[in-house]
Structure 1
Amino acid sequence: MLEFRVKGLSCANCSRELEQKIQKLEHGEGSTLSYNTGKLKVDEHISLAEVEQILRSDGAYIDQSYAGGTSHPEHAGHHHRHSHAGEHGAHDHSAGDGHNHSHGSTNRMKVLLIAAAAVFVLAIGLQQFIPDVAAIAMYLFSIAISGYVTFMKGLRNLARFKFNIDTLMTIALIGAVLIGEWKEATLVAILFGLNELLEGMGMEKARRSMESLLQVAPKEAVLIAGGRERVVPISSLEIGDIVLVRAGEKIPSDGTVIAGSSSVNEAAITGESLPVDKAEGQPVFGGSINNEGVLQVRIDKAYKDSSLAKILHLVEEAQETKTPTELFINRFAKYYTPLILAVAILVVLVPPLLLGGDWKTWLYQGLAVLIVGCPCALILSSPIALVSGITRNARNGILVKGGVFLEQLGKIDTLAFDKTGTLTLGEPHVEQTAVYDKERFYSIAAGIEKTSSHPLAKAVMKHVEKVGAAAAEPEDIRTLSGQGIEARIDGRTYYLGNEKSVESVPKSQAARKDIERLKAEGLTLVIVADEHGILGVFGIADEIRPESAETVAALHRSGIRRTVMLTGDHQRTAEKVAAAVGVTSCYGGLLPEQKVEKIKELASDGQVAMIGDGINDAPALASAGLGIAMGKGTDSAIETADIVLMQDHLGKLPEAISIGKKVNRIIKANIALALGLKLIALLLTIPGLLTLWIAILSDMGATIIVTLLSLTVLLDRKRRAETRI
């Protein structure tokens, strides 16, 4: 597929109609045109000349300076140059970059509107002193420079009996001119032009915010090969390459530090503002910034497979999905516009024919109804808010894979957690000990466990190191399947493992009591004993994340009514962790398929999201209404999830849910406002008080308010507060 940036898209509905036209071309079946991103994707065999002709019919055009994401860039460049040079030489948009060109188009529109307004005011001021024909000429000039594009699109639509926003405006302009309402017609043209300008600027603001997020990707890297340094594109890097990253430079792709030490800013990946110290042997993310020092990094992933590339791909895809609300609005707008046209005809005909009303008065009222009926604000009520919400979350290192998932995030009332690696660190640690022979307990345990890579052995060794005991030297070590280890040290036999490993060992009353107590507290036991008795017991637990309790409390404050923990660990362990972090309920001893069943059970009484990080969480993530994965978890969990937290903790989750709820509130408010203002304006037709300028102001006012409300999602109160400090 070829990918292009399209400028000049006037509205979401118009973009959808253009997409449908392009899809009817030869090789156009799979073409997509997204209003949210301004991106066009087409088959490489399609005629770009025909595509551009369709786009120009709506005042849009391909930005030649951008050809990102094409599967065959050389084709993109060739077809693109050919289509312009061959047929549209005078219509060249290649000057400058896309952003400047868009900025230039906006400035031209501003100049034209200012000129139209100036001529309009001048015509009103001079009308008493100049011939009527001269005043009319000034009004016509003002209409032409402010409403020409809309007028011509509307005429083409009328010829095809296609009724949309432009058609309604064109009919209203023609009608106003025919009944001699020159001032009103001019004001309508100017205000509608201003309305479209503000609408475009609002969407462009959201797009630019998203594009600034996507610009964090590095472009080049310093490759070290054969003892020499050379600058290469990051796309050419291969696994195993060594790159040099100096202070202030971006790390080109995911890799491992092999030389040097520095602090690294990972905000582009995780959303965390604090730098992370990196030294030899530690992993680094592509796109993160080396703050100081010089690092040599071994590339572990090609850029296209890196964390940053995945983030940017997911964020771009997210903008192009349609939510149920958007799909409903699009369907509604399809029938809404013809309905408004029918209402306008009734307003024009019924009072004069049945009630003896004045034809000119009610024709004027009918034209005003057409303008009120423009669904601009209604169509715009959702996309800007959704793009803003996706962008705001991405800044925080939270990847929402589509607007539909952002909308769903704002609706959830039940959140199910996996335990290990989610609410806990997934790293066992010794929480308690019961020691009966201090001299031998620690040294024997260290001697047996020091060569083991088992997580429990690592926890024991970490604790022994804190105590400062010296490790004994085993003469012989033998593994007992399902029990533990048997070792020979200084001529004596020792056992280390679970209760089964010491079944034949005599136990003191104190030891029996301590074992039962530690088990009751949900701890995993590692018992050390010889043939004559127990030397001591390690009570091991999975360490609870320090932020878990506060995060769960914040989730409850944000409107989540149920927090549920699902784990494969036994029920006692589950209850202990649940009590510590504050979840409302917990279920232990669950297999992956049982987690799925529990999710379905919870879903029967609410909107459920599941958060986890392991392979065994993937089925539950997929079955939940919304799946949330920890970003440093497994690839399968990340691929399955609808939302990804790039941090290795839950701290940002409450804010993400708050953003989702805010987006939903704003969309509802936008829809109510857009329809409410129109309803009020339409009710003014009953006493005959609706005027053309009131009609256009009601539509423009709704559009401005909808846009501004949607853009408030981008505001970060915490960052503004930090800036003031």
Structure 2
Amino acid sequence: MADACCGSEAAEKASCCNDRSRLIESSGSKDCCRSKGTAKAEMCCNDPGTMATKDASSCFDQTRAENGPTQSRLVTEAGERLTYHIYGMDCPSCAMSIEKGLSQLENIEAVKVNYNTAKLQLVSKDRLSFERVEHVIQKLGYRIEPLKQHTNVRTYDIEGMDCGSCATSIEKHLQTLPSVRSVSVNFSTGKMKIDHESHVEEVISEVAKLGYKASLLSKMSPRKDETLAKNSAATKMLISTGILIILGLVSAYISLPKPLANLLYAATIIMVGYKPFKSAYFAIKSRSIDMNVLMSAAALGAVIIGQWLEGATVVWLFALGTALQNRSIAHTRNSIRNLMTVAPAEAWIKAGSQMIKKPVEEVSIGDILIVKPGEKIPLDGVIVQGESSVNQAPITGESIPVDKGIHDHVFAGTVNESGALDIQVTKLVEDTTLARIIHLVEEAQEQKAPTQAFVDRFARVYTPVVFIIALCVMVLPPLFIGNWGNWFYKGLELLVIACPCALVISTPVAIVSALGNAAKNGVLIKGGTFLEKAGAINAIAFDKTGTLTAGEPKVSEVKLAEASEIELLSIALTLETRSTHPIAKAIVDFVKDKGIAPQSGTLFKTIVGKGVQATINGQVYYAGNRRLFEDLDIPVNDRYAEAQGLKQKGRTVVFIGTGHKLMGIIAVADTIRPTTIKTLSQLRQVGVGQLAMLTGDNEETAQFIAQEAQISRYFAELLPEDKVKAIKQLQHEGYNVAMVGDGINDAPALATADLGIAMGGAGTDTAMETADSVLMADNLEKLPHMIQLSRKALSIIKQNIWFSLIIKAIALMLIFPGWLTLWLAVLSDTGAAIIVILNAMRLLK
């Protein structure tokens, strides 16, 4: 029997069934369907936030169900992640407020608000309605809207593309299909994103018509038919090679009948040329001129004028060059794809007293992973039991394992070196730091650098212009001076030279190689644009705290006045133990390390801007700055000179005393990172001439830290807007400026600089999202590598472009004297492309 639902009496009732895949209008009521539940029908009302019984399902929005690919979901199932857009946030603290507000809702398993993208991601332990979420958001003063989910956008791997024109041909052909809304093929990554209503098999079939292999992107290993296809292609190549070799040997000793020789040449052309001929047909059909069209035209033209050997050689050389290019490009693309295999596909989960092996996709936030020594960590999490050294090289590029203990964060794909670890999962498999790295690098590969965009524009003009010239050469001269066969042959040579394959491929392969190298070494560069910018950097500005320095103050000196060291430190520990200030924490850690116990204190009080106080054994004690003790009329003049000396050394001075006397002072300093001086020296060696430090500290502290870090230029007492002015000043002086900071506090300066570089990306999602490039480790060691790699990439790109243009120019000059043969023209094109690729692949090492 159906249960009635609560809410307005006028609410329209609807019976629910187990199948949630459809919505049926009948007799004024709606059949709301559930994916899970009992066979018994439940009554639900229009209000998704109301339920009659614990078994009743909330209704969900189907307002756009008739439109097919987009729909808004207003109910989240248990363990399901939904994304919403938040309107009205004007600073990162707004995002924190929303996270805290939503965390108080029952059944919330995880909540994440990204201020930069204005997106909210929710994971619930049980079913949760949109209205409950919306109510909390509205109370906080913001507006929420579910993001539309494009369910029919799929990603495919495309095999066989060897230049950008192949990608263009696939796009143009698929755009002619009525079931395809949009399609984008990226040559650099070998991926196709397509929004279509047709079956996957139909898309794969249409791509196959063009001579390429499409497969729906998945984590599964290559299927057997892919291996068979590759073996088949290799077999054809071997047979055709054998035929040409036999013909060459036989013709050297005996004269074969011409019909028989031509028949063997034809067999070679058909076996090896079937794929490019088929691709050319569909390319022409979709009004695209790619290398398959040009090579097919050249081969068939050679046959028409009776040059069967030339035609067979053209097809064979083209197929050989294409195979070598595909092999090389696949190796380059795998520089990123291999990252996907870093993290294990399964994980051992603690379930009570037992251990269960699960696929990582089925592991939830809060589950406890068991990771034995020598095993890879499958998901991001926090250590709840055990200690070990963890090799973080796959994420941060650090060569030395990092010691980890309870409460420390670990990342998917890193290796547990020694002790057994119990790790509480903090991120789902698609949200791990490793997954984000792969996603960001693949996105970066899809973005065209300025040089690549220029080359593509040049190629779009060059190819049709030379194609038209080739046709004119074939037709016009014979009309006036005769010799049709000779001019037709020259036109065929021009057709081959019209293919700008080496030129077009020169930039993207170099960029993909460089981005892959950087990612494997713990550096994320967000695209070819920023890679080129990094190569042009000649000045770098560093934030001081947390960048040049460790960002963790430590006690450097203790000066006694009217107390013993143990008494002074015990009082200091008691006073500072309840404070959250970084300086207080440094003092507490220092005293605890010495094994000194605190005393019993009461009436703790914070004196804003000056320090703290507490009553210990009936006596009021104070810890704070000089102003605090001057206000208390406690003489500190005898210690003032000493305190000033410490201040000039970059120390922060804390005075300790009672209402009547000064007991001593404790100096706290933010120390220079051990790697800072070495890194700055390496940057100078790679040609970065101007190094500057930006800090909010006073002049004396800034000067001392600059001297210690061996930086000749610094800007002190800066507010965030002042850091922007400092960056602009360096730019006005003619420098290409990079800014290195933590990605949050230095956001304005990072945005103003020609290149923004965030540190510690492995620990902060914000840094990974906002900066132009990210150093995954929390140190500067990889910065010289990034600059050097970028400069080498720019150098190789220039080499490739000039080499491609010079080869084309030489080939063009050799045509009209008659020194260039058709097979030499093909060899110059495919050979140049292979050389360009191999040159670019040097960036992988």
Indicate if the aligned counterparts of 2:743 and 2:770 stay in contact, CA closer than 8 A.
Answer: no
C-alpha distance in 2 between matches for 1:210 and 1:632:
18
- Which of 197, 209, 214 is equivalent to 1:57? 209
Q: Does 1:629 align with 2:720?
A: no
How far does the alpha carbon of each residue in 1:230-276 deviate from its partner, in whole angstroms, 9 at most, with x for none? 22222222222222223333323222222233332222222223333
Residues 322 and 111 of structure 1, relative CA distance in 2, 3 Å threshold: same
C-alpha distance in 2 between matches for 1:101 and 1:620:
53
Deviation (angstroms), 1:656: 1.7
Q: Does the residue aligned with 1:381 lie in a helix, a strand or coil?
A: helix
Deviation (angstroms), 1:56: 2.1
Amino acid at match of 2:581: H
Partner of 1:40: 192
Amino acid at match of 1:689: W
C-alpha distance in 1 between matches for 2:499 and 2:187:
18
Q: Does the residue aligned with 1:62 lie in a helix, a strand or coil?
A: strand
Q: Does the residue aligned with 1:41 lie in a helix, a strand or coil?
A: strand
Partner of 2:726: 598
Amino acid at match of 1:414: A
Deviation (angstroms), 1:473: 4.6
How far does the alpha carbon of each residue in 1:384-422 deviate from its partner, in whole angstroms, 9 at most, with x for none? 222211111111122223233223222222222221111
Indicate if the aligned counterparts of 1:521 and 1:573 stay in contact, CA closer than 8 A.
Answer: yes
Deviation (angstroms), 1:193: 1.1
Task: Judge which range, 366-375 or 462-471, deviates more.
Answer: 462-471
Deviation (angstroms), 1:599: 2.9
Residues 519 and 249 of structure 1, relative CA distance in 2, 3 Å threshold: closer
User: For 1:302-701, what aligned pairs fall within 5 Å after superposition?
Assistant: 302-348=428-474, 356=481, 358-437=483-562, 439=564, 440-464=567-591, 471=598, 473-474=600-601, 476-489=603-616, 492-503=619-630, 504-507=632-635, 510-604=638-732, 605-613=734-742, 615-630=744-759, 631-632=761-762, 634-701=764-831
Deviation (angstroms), 1:204: 0.7
Indicate if the aligned counterparts of 1:505 and 1:533 stay in contact, CA closer than 8 A.
Answer: no
C-alpha distance in 2 between matches for 1:521 and 1:21:
69
RMSD over aligned Cα, in angstroms?
2.7
Q: Does the residue aligned with 2:374 lie in a helix, a strand or coil?
A: coil
Q: Does the residue aligned with 1:36 lie in a helix, a strand or coil?
A: coil
Partner of 1:7: 159
Indicate if the aligned counterparts of 2:767 and 2:774 stay in contact, CA closer than 8 A.
Answer: no
C-alpha distance in 1 between matches for 2:274 and 2:265:
13
Task: Judge which range, 509-518 or 103-112, deviates more.
Answer: 103-112
Deviation (angstroms), 1:50: 4.7
Amino acid at match of 2:218: A
Indicate if the aligned counterparts of 1:218 and 1:250 stay in contact, CA closer than 8 A.
Answer: yes
Indicate if the aligned counterparts of 1:434 and 1:538 stay in contact, CA closer than 8 A.
Answer: yes
Indicate if the aligned counterparts of 2:535 and 2:794 stay in contact, CA closer than 8 A.
Answer: yes
C-alpha distance in 1 between matches for 2:176 and 2:489:
39
Indicate if the aligned counterparts of 1:422 and 1:611 stay in contact, CA closer than 8 A.
Answer: yes
C-alpha distance in 1 between matches for 2:512 and 2:460:
23
Q: Does 1:190 align with 2:320?
A: no
Q: Does the residue aligned with 2:395 lie in a helix, a strand or coil?
A: helix
Indicate if the aligned counterparts of 1:256 and 1:282 stay in contact, CA closer than 8 A.
Answer: yes
Residues 469 and 655 of structure 1, relative CA distance in 2, 3 Å threshold: same
- Which of 319, 339, 342 is equivalent to 1:213? 339
Residues 159 and 390 of structure 1, relative CA distance in 2, 3 Å threshold: closer
User: For 1:163-182, what aligned pairs fall within 5 Å after superposition?
Assistant: 163-182=289-308
Task: Judge which range, 488-497 or 364-373, deviates more.
Answer: 488-497
Q: Does the residue aligned with 2:236 lie in a helix, a strand or coil?
A: helix
C-alpha distance in 2 between matches for 1:21 and 1:260:
57
Amino acid at match of 1:648: D
Partner of 1:84: none
Deviation (angstroms), 1:514: 1.4
Q: Does 1:274 align with 2:400?
A: yes
C-alpha distance in 2 between matches for 1:118 and 1:208:
32
Residues 217 and 541 of structure 1, relative CA distance in 2, 3 Å threshold: same
- Which of 218, 229, 239 is equivalent to 1:67? 218
C-alpha distance in 2 between matches for 1:256 and 1:500:
42
C-alpha distance in 2 between matches for 1:512 and 1:294:
52
Q: Does the residue aligned with 1:687 lie in a helix, a strand or coil?
A: coil
How far does the alpha carbon of each residue in 1:580-599 deviate from its partner, in whole angstroms, 9 at most, with x for none? 22334222222223323433
Deviation (angstroms), 1:157: 4.4
C-alpha distance in 2 between matches for 1:152 and 1:711:
30
Partner of 2:169: 17
Q: Does the residue aligned with 1:616 lie in a helix, a strand or coil?
A: coil
Task: Show structure 2 runs of 5+ residues with no match.
Answer: 1-152
C-alpha distance in 2 between matches for 1:239 and 1:523:
43
Amino acid at match of 2:398: E
Q: Does the residue aligned with 2:665 lie in a helix, a strand or coil?
A: strand
C-alpha distance in 2 between matches for 1:234 and 1:206:
27
C-alpha distance in 2 between matches for 1:706 and 1:340:
22
C-alpha distance in 2 between matches for 1:23 and 1:341:
24
Indicate if the aligned counterparts of 1:213 and 1:391 stay in contact, CA closer than 8 A.
Answer: no
Whichever structure has more helix as a proportion of its residues is 1
Task: Judge which range, 218-227 or 469-478, deviates more.
Answer: 469-478
Q: TM-score, structure 2 length as denominator?
A: 0.76
Amino acid at match of 2:804: A
Indicate if the aligned counterparts of 2:169 and 2:288 stay in contact, CA closer than 8 A.
Answer: no
Residues 139 and 547 of structure 1, relative CA distance in 2, 3 Å threshold: same
C-alpha distance in 2 between matches for 1:102 and 1:625:
45
User: For 1:102-251, what aligned pairs fall within 5 Å after superposition?
Assistant: 102=226, 104-127=228-251, 128-158=254-284, 162-251=288-377
Q: Does the residue aligned with 1:98 lie in a helix, a strand or coil?
A: coil
Deviation (angstroms), 1:607: 2.6
Deviation (angstroms), 1:104: 4.5
C-alpha distance in 2 between matches for 1:597 and 1:280:
43
Residues 100 and 560 of structure 1, relative CA distance in 2, 3 Å threshold: farther
Indicate if the aligned counterparts of 1:434 and 1:514 stay in contact, CA closer than 8 A.
Answer: no
C-alpha distance in 2 between matches for 1:345 and 1:632:
57
How far does the alpha carbon of each residue in 1:444-470 deviate from its partner, in whole angstroms, 9 at most, with x for none? 323422443322122223444566766
Residues 27 and 352 of structure 1, relative CA distance in 2, 3 Å threshold: closer
Q: TM-score, structure 1 length as denominator?
A: 0.88
C-alpha distance in 1 between matches for 2:656 and 2:572:
7
C-alpha distance in 2 between matches for 1:462 and 1:297:
26
Q: Does the residue aligned with 2:262 lie in a helix, a strand or coil?
A: helix
Q: Does the residue aligned with 2:161 lie in a helix, a strand or coil?
A: coil
Deviation (angstroms), 1:117: 2.3
Deviation (angstroms), 1:158: 4.9
Indicate if the aligned counterparts of 1:7 and 1:102 stay in contact, CA closer than 8 A.
Answer: no
Indicate if the aligned counterparts of 1:34 and 1:320 stay in contact, CA closer than 8 A.
Answer: yes
Amino acid at match of 1:137: L
Q: Does the residue aligned with 1:648 lie in a helix, a strand or coil?
A: coil
C-alpha distance in 2 between matches for 1:271 and 1:363:
57
Give the paired residue count.
686
Indicate if the aligned counterparts of 1:614 and 1:633 stay in contact, CA closer than 8 A.
Answer: no
Task: Judge which range, 206-215 or 421-430, deviates more.
Answer: 206-215
Partner of 2:139: none
